[in-house]
Chains A and B, each alone.
Chain A
Amino acid sequence: MLDLPDIQGIVTSGYAHMPHSRYLFLTVTNQEQAKLWLKSVCPHITTSARRSPGEAKPHFAVNIGFTSLGLSAIGLVVDAVNTFPREFLQGIAHGERARVLGDTEDSAPDRWEFGGPDTDEIHVVLLLYATSAAHLETISTQVWDSSMPNNGLKKAYCQESFKKGVDEPFGFRDGISQPAIEGVPGKINPGQSVLKAGEFLLGYMNEYGVMPPMPTVAANIESTAALNISSANPTRREFACNGTYLVLRKLSQDVDGFHKFLDEQTRNPDNTSNQSRQTWLAAKMVGRWPSGAPLTLCAASDDPQLGVDENRNNSFNFADTDLEGFACPIGSHIRRANPRDSLPPNPKKSAMVSDRHRVIRRGRPYEAMESEKKEQGLIFIALNADLQRQFEFIQQTWINTPKFGGLYDTKDAISADNDGTGVMVIQQKPVRLKIHGIPRFVQVRGGGYFFLPGIRALRFLAES
């Protein structure tokens, strides 16, 4: 049984009916005041508790996360902080993590707008969502009024995002393939993996059939009474129960560069642009058509009806009909991000392995004018119970590896750390087509590894 009222709402909902969102990154300047502030925010935090029948949909949602520095800054004792895993303690901008993630060159943390070594230390992220711009302002002022003196925090960075439709900036329908959490009520679409809660929440059995390690706090310090006693060690309490890890990355997408590249690669013999060929190449890179229709199900051309149909647009596998990648290339983005049943030694094993490396995505697009130029991209958000085994694994072992699926020298054409000499292989008969000279279309501009505590743990943080 999932303890839904103790779980933050973003774990079980993408707040699809709230297109307006704001991400506030805060630095604790005074621990005592910050705790009082946190206490005042706790009642506003949106949980995963189901609405009672007839209850209207809310107009806004608030969720909160802490970096490892943030947990210390708000007063969690050192021995408790140290029970968190290495990746989280280091933080996303640490050199080791940056290497694992391919955050190098222009994407290196020292060039970031926030969350890097040269910008303000980030301790807290407030995730605010609302049905309208006015409601967003209302909730913003309620939970974080920067004019309020002495609240013990200062704003390090603020990011707005507005979800216009379902497309990401390159023009593709996004967020189709999403794992479901076992035990959370809701519709399961055909082809959707239903995974053990322990893949996305601490304190539950995971896909390995074991309980993941649980960050704990000493049982004898005050205000811990609401936390469960650790089953492994009765002198500790489960601080992280019902919590999860949230990865946030501001990903700038070079939309002009992307379209220019597609154009250059697909010119007609008379050097005129070939629009349909451009769409075809982009679809081969992604693995879906712009509508979301998977290439494996419609290789020849886009099928918008299929793209929007939740009952069909994710209901496919690779092994049966597309193992060779003639429809959806082996190195395409969606095949790397979720290889499904396509990897050795066999489809069953592959599906099992793929299910052990999934994240729940809650990303939203952003855009802004920067010196007369439209700057746009994605505020990528991923939720998982194990940063290394899930988010980092996908990025390192599938997206950024030149050797994915037995290939020789090709990284993800869309989102890998390509350097202008990137290669993409499109399987076809008699021999493959090779695209050369792929640059990095997606740059990292900021980010953080956050822990989203359960509600009881949040109150403990505010009160201890």
Chain B
Amino acid sequence: MGQNALTIITRILPDQIEALGKLLDEIGGDITGNSWIRFHAIKSVQFACWVILKDDPNFPPILVMESSHDGDTESHLNDLVTFGMAGLNAIYSKCEGFPFNFATAEQMKLYLNSHSVSTPAFYIGVPGQSLPSIQNAIDIRKTIENFLDTVDLTEVPLSTVQSRIQQHLKTSGINPQISPITLDQQASRAKRNLILLIIVLAPLLLLLSPIWFPLLIIYVIVLRKIEKADAAAPQLPPLPIDPRLFDHEDIFVQNHLTTLVNVKPGKFRLGTLKVILWIISLLAKIYFITGQLGGIPTIHFARWILMDNDRRLLFFSNYDGSWASYLGDFVDKANYGLTSVWSNTESFPPAKFLFWGGAQHIEEFKQWSRQHNVLAPVWYSAYPDETLWNLQKDIQIRDTINTSLNRAELETLLQRF
């Protein structure tokens, strides 16, 4: 069962913006204990958030909901309406096109479905791991941790250590539910996919080079001309930074980032952006399946969405650690990819040839990012204190503890704790 992205975009009734803000603050203020949406009961949701986009007078006020969920949309919506009907009704009664006093489950699903939009690019940190599978892995690791804390195994032969752990798991009544695909298999799949991609693409590119090569040259010339004009253009006034962002960060080990930016005007920029997003989407499906998005190892889920007739680009991500370290990772490890996406949007630090420059101006980039950050008053993570690195270790522990291991493998396994 794979994870999927649900994104729902609705217009907010102008006289209800404030009330909606208050409601979302209330829900988000007690994310697991509120009576509006019982997130912990929803077994199909790994991450979810609601954001209000209202600060740009050129666009109507908009509410966006994102969830990263297990299984298909239908069953996820069923879960949502089962455990969050009060909240959903309260939220969407403040949005346009909601004709109900209190929608029934069917009406609500229909409403949400009709406002859901496609996600052009979606990245998953541990593909194929459903929430129950993740929770099982965490449980197994914690159970073993507690066991290791209470027994002294320094004098015990290595081979016995594994059987004693297995024995402890058995008596604790926790069964490892082995992943359909192990992380190792996932890694070899990524490698295989890349080779296949090259095998398919290389001859095609070579064969068609008389066509695309001259086009590419023209493209690059035009691009560079536009980039130079962009860099010379007067800078837009800086946007104010929402001070509430800082209070919402670093409460858990994980954090959430929503970034909203205007796409630069013109078909050239939009076309470039769409192609880049398509490539990211492709790579996210076939190559970035081992827990690294372009080299960044701390992202659980990320998605890009073009909205308002492709005039604005919305980016959601759920990541580990501080904002500063995340942004630093972006620049240190994914600078080219990042610049190729956002150099097509307004106020981004000047790029060279689409991939260079840009985010390399680390301070300007951070400043830009902060100015375009949007607060997510409601943000839910099903496992907020678990880093992706933790999760990968937990899954490996769970998937191998009951298998027969040679000495080196067993030593590696035991070092994960």
Residues of A near any B CB (own CB < 8 A): 85, 96, 99-100, 208-210, 212-213, 324, 344-345, 349, 352-353, 356-357, 386, 388-389, 392-393, 396-397, 401-403, 406, 408, 425, 427, 429-432, 434, 436
Partner of B411, one of A210, A389, A425, A430: A430
Q: How far is the CA of A212 from the CA of B393 in the complex (A)?
A: 38
Partner of A392, one of B153, B253, B324, B411: B324
Question: Contact: A324 with B324, CB < 8 Å?
Answer: no
- 1/0 per residue, CB under 8 A from A, across B58-73: the answer is 0000000000000000
Interface CB pairs A-B, < 8 A, 17: A85-B363, A209-B360, A212-B363, A344-B389, A345-B333, A352-B332, A353-B332, A386-B363, A388-B324, A389-B363, A393-B325, A396-B250, A396-B324, A397-B322, A397-B325, A406-B393, A432-B148
Q: Which residues of B contact A389 (CB under 8 A)?
A: 324, 328, 362-363
Question: Contact: A210 with B332, CB < 8 Å?
Answer: no
Q: Which residues of A contact B324 (CB under 8 A)?
A: 388-389, 392-393, 396-397
Question: Contact: A434 with B149, CB < 8 Å?
Answer: yes
Q: How far is the CA of A434 from the CA of B151 in the complex (A)?
A: 11
Since A349-B333, A396-B324 are in contact, a sample of 7 more A-B pairs with Cβ atoms closer than 8 Å, ordered by chain A residue number, is: A208-B362, A213-B364, A356-B332, A401-B253, A429-B411, A429-B414, A431-B414
Q: How far is the CA of A66 from the CA of B329 in the complex (A)?
A: 31
Main SS at interface, chain B:
helix
Is B297 at the interface (CB under 8 A from chain A)?
yes
Is B361 at the interface (CB under 8 A from chain A)?
yes
Q: Which residues of A contact B156 (CB under 8 A)?
A: 430
Nearest CB of chain B from residue A427's CB, rounded to whole Å: 7
Question: Contact: A401 with B321, CB < 8 Å?
Answer: yes
Q: How far is the CA of A100 from the CA of B415 in the complex (A)?
A: 30
Is B105 at the interface (CB under 8 A from chain A)?
no
Q: Which residues of A contact B41 (CB under 8 A)?
A: none
Nearest CB of chain A from residue B158's CB, rounded to whole Å: 5
- Interface size grouping (class) on chain B: 35 or more
For chains A and B in complex, what number of residue pairs have CB atoms within 8 angstroms? 91
Q: How far is the CA of A181 from the CA of B389 in the complex (A)?
A: 34
Q: Which residues of A contact B209 (CB under 8 A)?
A: none
Q: How far is the CA of A344 from the CA of B250 in the complex (A)?
A: 22
Interface centre among B322, B367, B414 (most CB of A within 10 A): B322
Known: A210-B360, A431-B417. A393 touches B246 (CB 8 A): no
Question: Contact: A403 with B250, CB < 8 Å?
Answer: no
Interface centre among A349, A431, A436 (most CB of B within 10 A): A431
Q: Which residues of A contact B180 (CB under 8 A)?
A: none
Q: Which residues of B contact A356 (CB under 8 A)?
A: 328, 332
Closest chain B residue to A392 by CB distance? B324
Interface centre among A85, A96, A388, A425 (most CB of B within 10 A): A388
Nearest CB of chain A from residue B290's CB, rounded to whole Å: 10
Question: Contact: A403 with B153, CB < 8 Å?
Answer: no
Q: Which residues of A contact B121 (CB under 8 A)?
A: none
Interface centre among A402, A408, A434 (most CB of B within 10 A): A408
Question: Contact: B390 with A431, CB < 8 Å?
Answer: no
Nearest CB of chain B from residue A439's CB, rounded to whole Å: 19
Is B314 at the interface (CB under 8 A from chain A)?
no
Nearest CB of chain A from residue B364's CB, rounded to whole Å: 7
Known: A212-B363, A352-B332. A397 touches B414 (CB 8 A): no
Nearest CB of chain B from residue A155's CB, rounded to whole Å: 34
Q: Which residues of B contact A85 (CB under 8 A)?
A: 363
117-176 of chain B: CB within 8 A of chain A: 145, 148-149, 153-154, 156, 158, 161
Question: Contact: B415 with A324, CB < 8 Å?
Answer: yes
Q: How far is the CA of A352 from the CA of B324 in the complex (A)?
A: 17
Q: Which residues of A contact B390 (CB under 8 A)?
A: 403, 406, 408
